[in-house]
Amino acid sequence: MDLQFSEEHVAFQREVREFIEANLPTDIREKVSRGLKLEKDDIYRWHKILYAKGWAAPHWPTEHGGCEWDPVRRYIFNEELARGHCPSLSAFGLMMVGPVIYTFGSDAQKKTYLPKILSGEEFWCQGYSEPGAGSDLASLQTKATRDGDDYIVSGQKTWTTSAPWADRIFCLVRTSSEGKPQEGISFLLIDMKSPGIEVKPIITIDGGAEINNTYFDSVRVPIENRVGEENKGWTYAKFLLGNERSGIARVGASKARLRRLKEIAAEEKSSGAPLIEDADFRRSIAEVEIKLKSLEFTELRFLMAAAQGNGPGAEVSMLKIRGTEIQQDLTELSMKAMGMYAHPYVPESLEYGWNEDPIGPEIAPNLSPSYFNVRKTSIYGGTNEIQKNIMAKMVLGL
């Protein structure tokens, strides 16, 4: 595959880089580069800037306000966002439910929801997993019962990332117990301010509270908020998961993290030579860099296929598996490279403006929480073990 950019693409790359340099707020850039805590307002401010430029949804069709860029432009754009220390926009609206709505939703749903997703006015979260129904998602038990023009929804969702921020949640619910489990699931769009919804945080090993339990106690949802046909939600869910799993690869972010790892390893140490001079550590860096380059080529092949009208199939599981493994490898190597400075963890040091004496290099306080947080990447979006099963069955035919 020829990875040489055309003159047109080189000009686009320069345009994106210059725009980021001129428009990304300094405090947001510093937060991202140092791994500090991001607030909802940080994401929203950057979203508004990209929206004003017309760049909030590179992959959306132009008829719905997107850029409809070719795969090379999308690739360049994501690379430059990572290189410029830009925060990731919330994927739940733009990458997940948005494409479901404009592909399967009614005209009224497109008119109601897509403009606010595009502008960043409304944040979304995902209601898929449940206690006892994570990787085996078809066994979900959150129930939606018809009552006139509404559904009455009761049950529990778990691991709902950013639920306290969200204005709406897209949910898989059981509307029938007949036939195969997959055949009785529907896809609902629910207002998070509806009476009967309660959100409780789950404190993770890194000290964060980004994931939550979300409870539904007789929540009334209009039938018009159902996407597509009743009991056909599994079809829409698979479409969404294909987009999610391709996004989990995060090649650009891993390349940025790899560059930072090399910088850390090349720094002089008071105790001796830089770590980059250690043959074993150099070999570890080389191995993960080779894996990352292979992943990059694989992602580009999928992008080219998508440009020809071939949506993500089961093969996209490769991106999810390898991408999350690389993220974990990089955080582990970063911990080793930082040495004793990676051990202390002061939660307050992740707050912008904290001005106590620094612990080692400026990114040291974030390494431990980042390492622990990234352990979950091989689980969410469908565990890597499940992805390997999908590959074996759907791709290899085993």
Identify whether the C-beta of residue 142 lies closer than 8 Å to the C-beta of residue 169.
no
Q: Residue 179: is it exposed, middle or buried by C-beta count within 10 angstroms (0-12/13-18/19+)?
A: exposed
More confident position, 105 or 396: 105
Tell me which of 343 and 396 has the higher pLDDT.
396
Percent residues over pLDDT 70 in the chain: 87
Domain boundaries, the chain: 7-89, 124-233, 249-395
Question: Which pLDDT score, from 0 to 100, does residue 108 have?
Answer: 97
| Residue 365, pLDDT score | 58
Give the percent of the chain with pLDDT over 90. Answer: 54
**Mean per-residue pLDDT over the chain, rounded:** 87
pLDDT for res 208: 78
- Sign of the torsion formed by the C-alpha atoms of 72, 92, 316 and 375: positive
pLDDT of 359 > 60? The answer is no
Phi, psi of 264 (to 5 degrees): -65, -45
Comparing 249 with 89, the larger pLDDT belongs to 89
Give the pLDDT score at 126. 96
Find the mean pLDDT for residues 372-386. 81
Residue 94 has what pLDDT?
Answer: 95
Instruction: Please say if the pLDDT value at position 240 is more than 60.
Output: yes
- 75 within 8 A of 303, measured Cβ to Cβ: yes
Higher pLDDT, 121 or 263: 121
| Across 65-79, 174-188, 248-262, 340-354, least confident range | 340-354
Question: Does pLDDT of 389 surpass 70?
Answer: yes
Q: Report whether pLDDT(294) > 80.
A: yes
3-state secondary structure of 48: helix
pLDDT average, residue stretch 75-95: 93
Query: Which pLDDT band, with edges at 50, 70 and 90, does 244 fall under?
Result: low
β-partners of residue 201 are 212
pLDDT band at 145 (very low <50, low <70, confident <90, very high): very high
Q: Report the range of poorest mean pLDDT among 33-47, 80-94, 163-177, 245-259.
A: 245-259
3-state secondary structure 315-373: HHHHHHHHHHHHHHHHHHHHHHHHHHHHCCCCHHHHCCCCCCCCCCCCCHHHHHHHHHH
pLDDT range class, residue 154, cuts 50, 70, 90 = very high
- Architecture in CATH of 249-395: Up-down Bundle (1.20)
State which amino acid sits at residue 216: F
- Of 2.40.110.10, 2.40.70.10, 1.20.1250.20, 2.40.128.520, the CATH number of 124-233 is 2.40.110.10
Instruction: State the pLDDT at residue 271.
Output: 61
